[in-house]
Structure formats: C-alpha cells, structure tokens
C-alpha cells in the first residue's frame, strides 16, 4: 500500500485573487490549481508557484489523481518556459535599438562614401529608409509613444518640461530628417548636386538617433524598470507583440535583419550579428 498524505483534501482548498496581466481582471485561482483562463479576456493566468505539496510530495500523484498530476506538471513546464523566454519591455526595445544602430552605421558609411567620391547607389538609401519607416517608426516608436510613454506619465514622469517631452520632440526631429533624406534621394543620381545635402541630412539623422538611443538606454529604461510593476511590464510585452503582428507582420524583424546584412556587405562593412 502506498504512502498517502493526510493533508490533501478538497475541504482544505483556499482561493486567491490574481490580476490578469493582459486585462487586469481579478481571477480566482484555487490552491490546487496552477493555471486558469481569465473569464474576461480568455488569456491564461498563472500562480507563481506549484500549488500545495504537489511539487515534492511522493504521494502527490496518487493524492490528486494521475490525470490532474500530469496536467499540473505540464502547466509547470509551460510557466517555466514562459518565465525564461519572455523579456521585459525595455529589453525588447533595447534589442530593437541595437538593430537600429546597425542601420545608422550603414547610413554613416554611405554618407562617408559619397563624401569620398564613391559611387554609392541610391538603393542604399531607399532600402535604409524602408527599414526606418517600418521597423524604427511604425513598430519601435509606436511601442514607445502609444504604450510605454503614456504609462510612465501615469507614474508621474512629466511630458511637458520633462524627459518624455524631450524624447517626443526628438522622435519628430528624426521624422523630419527621414523626410528630408527621402526628398533628396528621389532627385539623386550618382554625381549630381544633391550629394552634399544627402550627406548633411543623413549625418544629422544618425547623430540625433545615436544620442537619442543613449538617453533611452541609460536613463529612461532603468527608470521604467524601477517604476513599472511586473503586471504592467507583462502587459506592455503583450501589447508590443500585438503591434508587431498588426503593423509589420510575422517575421518582419528577421527580414530586415537580412536586409541590413546585405547593405553592410554592399558597403564593405564588417558583418555584425544581431540576436533577437
């Protein structure tokens, strides 16, 4: 006869409320459950620990029944995978910064080539602008301006006269530079008079963005990590994924990573590996 734990009983079950990280709804989770479905948004909500003694007791399988025991083990593995795989919102944005920095190096190298009298093909600039409009503006800046910045405002970070106002203005300045590059490249042919203006505008954009990225990496992101709760960070990561799916589509980051590598090779730049 196997050992049987005397403490596990339906009469001893307790219930706690857990906030759904997706919609904020208060979800009931009993002490013998690890995961339930939020009745409001249908997303999974987890307890952070295995219920009761299920994880260590030798009688657990017999006590709760083999089917429920197996289900709990699978949910535990699922939770561990999620906890290990999901990055925080500032980590997601930081990785996008690294990709944007690669594109800025492409632009700087192209501008230097023009200044040195090389025949830099217009396609270098038009493909770079494609990346900027899709990844940098539509995706990355959308995540910041529509989600992260407003949430930080709710935590008391000022927009007017504060750091968020500066970052918003720099976003608009960057868009102005992109518009200027596009206008000049449209009239550009190798060797014509638009060259000096393209060099000037491309360098203005790269300098602005490099300084802007540094401000966010070194000041804004640590502030966000400190101010935002784990639930708010999970919410942001989920909304970031929605923006990517809805605005740029699955696999867009990977396609543009390949584009940057192609541009780097065409300009003789050292191949830089991007991890995502």
> Residue range 218-223: average pLDDT?
95
Which residue segments constitute the domains of the chain, with CATH numbers given?
10-85 (no CATH), 89-266 (1.20.120.520)
Q: How far apart are CA 37 and CA 130, in angstroms?
A: 40
Structure confidence at residue 109 (pLDDT): 95
What secondary structure letter does DSSP report for 11?
G
Among 2-11, 27-36, 119-128, 222-231, name the one with the lowest average pLDDT.
2-11
| 103, 210 contact by CB (below 8 A) | no
pLDDT for res 272: 43
Whether the per-residue pLDDT at 199 is higher than 70: the answer is: yes
Alpha helical stretches, state H, the chain: 60-64, 66-85, 89-115, 122-131, 142-143, 149-154, 163-186, 195-215, 221-227, 230-243, 252-266
Mean pLDDT of the region 39-58: 69
* Cα Rg of the chain, angstroms: 25
More confident residue, 7 or 57: 57
> Which tokens is 29 given?
């989770």
Looking at residue 38, its pLDDT comes to 83
Query: Is it the case that residue 84 has pLDDT exceeding 70?
Result: no
> Half-sphere exposure of residue 211, counting CA atoms within 13 Å on the CB side?
12
Mean local confidence (pLDDT), 2-12: 49
**Mean pLDDT comparison of 47-56, 81-90, 240-249, highest-scoring range:** 240-249
Among 40-44, 229-233, 241-245, name the one with the lowest average pLDDT: 40-44
- Which band of pLDDT confidence, cut at 50, 70 and 90, is reported for residue 1? very low
Q: How far apart, in whole angstroms, are the C-alpha atoms of residue 12 and residue 63?
A: 13
**Residue 29: beta bridge partners?**
16
Nearest to 109 by CA among 193, 195, 206, 175: 206
The tokens describing 224, both together, are 């966000």
Average pLDDT over all residues of the chain: 83
Q: Residues for the chain: how many in total?
A: 276
**Nearest CA among 267, 108, 85 for reference residue 181:** 108
DSSP 185: H
Among 36-40, 70-74, 261-265, name the one with the lowest average pLDDT: 70-74
Give the three-class secondary structure for 137.
helix
pLDDT, tens digit, 9 for 90 and up, residues 244-273: 999 888 888 888 989 999 999 999 885 444
Q: Token pair for residue 133?
A: 């409009």
- Whether the CA torsion 137, 139, 142, 143 is positive or negative: it is negative
74 pLDDT tier (thresholds 50, 70, 90): confident
């Amino acid at each position: 006869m196997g050992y049987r734990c005397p403490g596990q009983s339906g009469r001893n079950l307790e219930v706690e409320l857990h906030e759904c990280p997706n919609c904020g709804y208060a979800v009931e989770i009993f002490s013998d459950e690890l995961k339930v479905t939020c009745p409001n948004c249908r997303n999974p909500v987890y307890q952070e620990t295995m219920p009761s003694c299920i994880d260590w007791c030798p009688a657990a399988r017999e006590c709760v029944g083999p089917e429920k025991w197996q289900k709990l083990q699978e949910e535990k593995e699922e939770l561990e995978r999620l906890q290990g795989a999901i990055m925080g919102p500032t980590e997601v944005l930081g990785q996008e910064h690294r990709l944007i920095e690669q594109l800025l190096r492409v632009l700087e190298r192209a501008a230097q080539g023009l200044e040195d009298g090389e025949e830099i093909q217009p396609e270098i600039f038009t493909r770079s602008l494609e990346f900027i409009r899709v990844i940098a503006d539509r995706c990355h800046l959308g995540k910041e301006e529509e989600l992260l910045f407003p949430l930080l405002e709710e935590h008391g970070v000022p927009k007017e006269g504060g750091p968020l106002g500066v970052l918003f203005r720099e976003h608009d300045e960057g868009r102005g530079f992109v518009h200027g590059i596009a206008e000049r490249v449209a009239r550009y042919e190798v060797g014509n008079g638009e060259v000096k203006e393209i060099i000037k505008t491309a360098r203005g954009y790269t300098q602005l963005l490099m300084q802007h990225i540094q401000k966010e990496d070194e000041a804004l992101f640590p502030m966000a990590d400190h101010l935002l709760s784990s639930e708010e960070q999970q919410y942001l990561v989920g909304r970031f994924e929605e923006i990517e799916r809805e605005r740029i589509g699955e696999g867009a980051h990977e396609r543009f990573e390949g584009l940057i590598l192609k541009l780097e090779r065409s300009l003789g730049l050292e191949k830089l590996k991007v991890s995502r």
